[in-house]
Structure 1
Amino acid sequence: MEPKKLHIGLALAMGWLSGKGWQRPDSDVESAFNTAPYIEMAKLAEAYKLDFVFRPDTQFLNEELFDTEPGFCNLDPMLLLAAIAEHTKSIGIISTASTTLLPPYYVAKQLQTLQWISQGRAGWNIVTAIDGHENYGQTERLSSDERYEKSSEFLEVVMKLWKSFPNAALKQDKTTGIFADKTLVQSVHHEGKHLSVKGPLNLPESPFKDIALFQAGASESGRHFAANIADAVFAATPDIESGIELRQDLRAKAKAQHRDENSIKVFPGLSLFLASTQEEALQLYKSTHRQPSKQKRIEYIKDAIGLDLSNWPLHEPIKTNITKIHENVRSKTHSQLLLTYIHRESPTLAELLERPEVIGSSHWLVIGTPEDAFHSIVERANANALDGFIAIPGGDKNSMRLFFEEVIPMLVKSGWFRDEYKEVNLKERLRKV
Structure 2
Amino acid sequence: MDTNRQLCIGLSLTATWRKGKEYSNVENLYSTDFYVELAKMAEKAKLDFVFRPDTLFLNQKVLDKSPGFGSLDPTLLLTSIACETERIGLVTTASTTFNPPYVVARQLQSLHWISNGRAGWNIVTSIEGAENFGDAPMPSSPERYRKANEFTEVVRKLWASYPHEALTARRTSEQFANKELVSSIDHSGDFFSVKGPLNLPAHSSGEIPLFQAGASDSGRNFAASVADAIFAATPDIISGIELREDLRRRAQERGRHPDAIRVLPGLYFFLAKTRSEARELHRQAHAHLSLAHRYVSVQSILGLDMSGWPLDKRVTSELLPDLNQPVRSRTHADLLRRFIMREEPTVEELLSRPEVVGSAHWVAVGTVEDVVNDIIEWFEAGAMDGFIALPGGSVQSMELFFHELMPLLVEKGLFRSEYTGETLREHLGIE
Deviations 1:18-66 (A, max 9, x none): 4xx3x43x32222211111111111111111111110111101111111
Matches of 2:166 and 2:136, distance apart in 1: 42
1:406 equivalent in structure 2: 404
Superposition deviation, residue 420 in structure 1: 1.1
User: TM-score, normalising length from structure 1?
Assistant: 0.95
**1:357-411 deviation per Cα after TM superposition (whole angstroms, max 9, x unaligned):** 1110000011211111111111111111000000000111110000111111111
SS at match of 2:168: strand
Provide Cα deviations, 1:312-331, integer angstroms capped at 9, x if missing partner: 22112221223853342111
Residue 377 of structure 1 is aligned with which of 375, 378, 393? Answer: 375
- Equivalent AA in structure 2 for residue 358 of structure 1: V
Partner AA of 2:377 in structure 1? E
Local SS of the residue matching 2:317:
coil
C-alpha distance in 2, partners of 1:11/1:290?
23
What letter matches 2:217 in structure 1?
A: E
**Alignment correspondent of 2:13:** 12
Shift of 1:429: 2.6
Counterpart of 2:399 in 1: which secondary structure?
Answer: helix
Q: 1:287 aligns with which of 284, 298, 309?
A: 284
1:167-246 alignment, distance < 5 Å: 167-246=164-243
* More displaced stretch, 289-298 vs 310-319: 289-298
Aligned equivalents of 1:116 and 1:56: distance in 2? Answer: 21
Q: Tell me the residue number matched to 1:108.
A: 105
- Residue 96 (1) aligns with residue 97 (2): no
Give the Cα separation in 2 of the matches to 1:225 and 1:138.
27
Letter of the structure 1 residue corresponding to residue 404 of structure 2: E
Helix, strand or coil: the match of 1:392?
Answer: strand
TM (norm. structure 2) is: 0.96
- Residue type matched to 1:2 in 2? D
What amino acid maps onto 1:264 in structure 2? I
What amino acid sits opposite 2:43 in the alignment? E
Q: Is contact 2:112–2:119 with CA below 8 Å preserved after alignment?
A: yes
Correspondence list, 1:259-298, <5 A: 259-289=256-286, 291-298=288-295
Report the count of equivalent residues. 429
Q: Does 1:252 align with 2:258?
A: no
Q: Indicate the RMSD between aligned Cα atoms, in angstroms.
A: 1.6
Which deviates the most, 186-195 or 242-251?
186-195
**Contact kept in structure 2, 1:114 and 1:122, CA below 8 Å:** yes
**Within 5 Å, which residues of 2 pair with 1:15-94?**
15-18=16-19, 21=20, 23-24=21-22, 26-94=23-91
Letter in 2 for 1:355: R
Tell me the amino acid that sits aligned with residue 112 of structure 2: Q
Q: Secondary structure at the match of 2:231?
A: strand
CA distance in 2, matches of 1:335, 1:140: 20
Structure 1 unaligned spans of 5+: none
**Contact 1:325–1:332 under 8 Å retained in 2:** no
Instruction: Tell me if the contact between 1:319 and 1:342 (Cα under 8 Å) persists in the aligned partners.
Output: yes
Task: Give the whole-Å Cα distance in 2 for the aligned partners of 1:211 and 1:432.
Answer: 10
Query: Is the contact made by 1:17 and 1:70 (CA closer than 8 Å) also made in structure 2?
Result: no
Distance 1:405 1:166 in 2: 42
Give yes or no for contact 1:90–1:121 (8 Å, CA) kept in 2. Answer: yes
Runs of 4+ more than 6 Å apart: none
More deviation, 171-180/374-383: 171-180
Secondary structure in 2 matching 1:140: coil
State the match for 1:150 in structure 2.
147
State whether residues 159 and 207 of structure 2, in contact with CA within 8 Å, keep that contact through their aligned partners in structure 1: no
Q: Is the 8 A contact 2:264 2:384 kept in 1?
A: yes
Unaligned runs of 5+ in 2: none
Contact residue 311 and residue 348 of structure 2 kept, 8 A: yes
Q: How many Å apart are 1:138 and its aligned residue?
A: 4.5
Instruction: State how far apart, in whole Å, the 2-side matches of 1:279 and 1:173 are.
Output: 63
Shift of 1:175: 4.1
- Return the alpha-carbon distance in structure 2 between the equivalents of residues 135 and 283 of structure 1: 39
Partner amino acid, structure 2, of 1:248? E
Change (3 A) 1:327 1:308: closer
Percent of residue pairs bearing the same amino acid type: 53
